[in-house]
Amino acid sequence: MRKPAYYFVAIILGAGLLFDTSSLLWAQAPQIRIELNLDKTHYTYGEPIGATVVVSNQSGGAILVNKGFSSMVYYLEMRVIDPAGKLTVAKREAFHDEFPDAPPLAWILHAGKPIRVVGCESLPAGWTSDPSQGRIDDMREPYRISLPGHYSAQVQLSVMTFASAPCEVDDYEWQGVLESETVYFYYSGAEEFYFDNTVQMKVNPAEWELSWKKDKKVKKLQVQIMPQLIKIINDYDIAYIELNGIPALDWKRVPPKFKVYFDRKLVLEALGDVDLGQSYPAVVSGRFTNERFFGGGQQIKIVE
């Protein structure tokens, strides 16, 4: 299926952002405002996580932008960071398969010379996005939100602006990413356990070594889980237990508790860039056989 030229613009914008964009943003950013508001800041298990995105032209005049900007589904353009520090973006159907079929940019004659042009559109003064583009009743549907803990979310929109039509791709006025303010919320699991006086969970060891990144063979890290009295070992669906988003290698029953094992190199790498001597969250998540979620966390320290 062939797509309109504005899909090609997305490729140009995305490729440009892989490099130092400071050289690209020589003009003032357009006065396009992005507001992201959550219905509330604390959500219990099973509660819908509602959010609203409003995009508006605050310039007092028309803004010429790449075609398709005004028709985006803005709530799908969030970047959500989960309690383990991992980025999650909205699920899209066959998103990456569309680009190879995008048509090439058109060439036209303008003032006696050939130029490459992209589709563009005008955002009138006072323009505001349609509510249907910005309202989502439950962020858990397109975004992976299952770990209990603190989340952050921000809307990021790629855009090109032009001084006048025709919109020459090599003569744009501004190119970059517009961002909303970052918002924060807390999501509770159906059951949360912590390594405290109740000893529900324990990550062993609690100090993770930077040298693990050099492991040539799989070496295991252990998480010990003690089911609450109302639960038994068989209530836990072992296949869905993860540590910082990394699936378990295997597990072992040691009644009344059980032990779950993970590749220590992978779980360390899942933290991203870490600093020696600093503490980071080790977040365990999973679900019961009745498909309800559980989870909890423990701080671990990075050592040599």
The CATH number of whichever domain residue 284 belongs to comes to 2.60.40
200 plus 294 within the same structural domain = yes
108 plus 220 within the same structural domain = no
Q: Which domain holds residue 120?
A: 5-187
206 plus 152 within the same structural domain = no
37 plus 179 within the same structural domain = yes
pLDDT of residue 116: 67
* Residue at 238: amino acid letter: I
120 plus 12 within the same structural domain = yes
The DSSP element (H or E) to which 13 belongs, if any, is helix 5-16
Among 132, 164, 187, give the residue marking a domain's end. Answer: 187
46 plus 141 within the same structural domain = yes
pLDDT of residue 24: 44
Q: Give the total number of structural domains in the chain.
A: 2
95 plus 125 within the same structural domain = yes
77 plus 203 within the same structural domain = no
Instruction: Quote the CA–CA distance of 275 and 211 in Å, as a whole number.
Output: 13
Among 166, 187, 208, give the residue marking a domain's end. Answer: 187
Instruction: Quote the CA–CA distance of 172 and 219 in Å, as a whole number.
Output: 52
CA quadruple 230, 247, 303, 279: dihedral sign: negative
The DSSP element (H or E) to which 102 belongs, if any, is none
Instruction: Quote the CA–CA distance of 241 and 248 in Å, as a whole number.
Output: 6
With 0.85 as the threshold, say if the pTM is over it. Answer: no
pLDDT, tens digit (0-9, with 9 covering 90-100), for 151-171? 999 999 999 899 887 877 777
Of 144, 14, 13, 52, which Cα lies nearest the Cα of 89?
A: 144
144 plus 22 within the same structural domain = yes
Among 119, 153, 187, give the residue marking a domain's end. Answer: 187
What does DSSP assign to residue 59? S
Contact of 266 with 260, CB cutoff 8 Å: no
Per-residue model confidence as pLDDT tens for the chain (304 residues): 444 444 444 444 554 444 444 434 456 899 999 999 999 999 887 789 999 999 999 999 999 999 999 999 999 999 999 876 778 899 876 444 434 444 565 554 455 665 567 788 999 999 999 999 999 999 999 998 877 778 999 999 999 899 887 877 777 889 899 999 999 998 875 444 443 333 377 888 989 999 999 999 999 999 988 776 556 667 778 888 888 889 999 988 888 788 999 999 999 998 888 899 998 878 887 777 877 777 777 788 999 8
> Is 262 exposed, middle or buried (CB count within 10 Å of its CB: 0-12, 13-18, 19+)?
buried
143 plus 229 within the same structural domain = no
- Judged by phi (left if over 0) then psi (alpha if -120 to 50, else beta), residue 176 lies in left
User: Any idea what the Cα angle at residue 281 is, between residues 278 and 287, rounded to 5°?
Assistant: 165
166 plus 208 within the same structural domain = no
> Is 139 exposed, middle or buried (CB count within 10 Å of its CB: 0-12, 13-18, 19+)?
buried
196 plus 163 within the same structural domain = no
What does DSSP assign to residue 181? P
* Residue at 97: amino acid letter: D
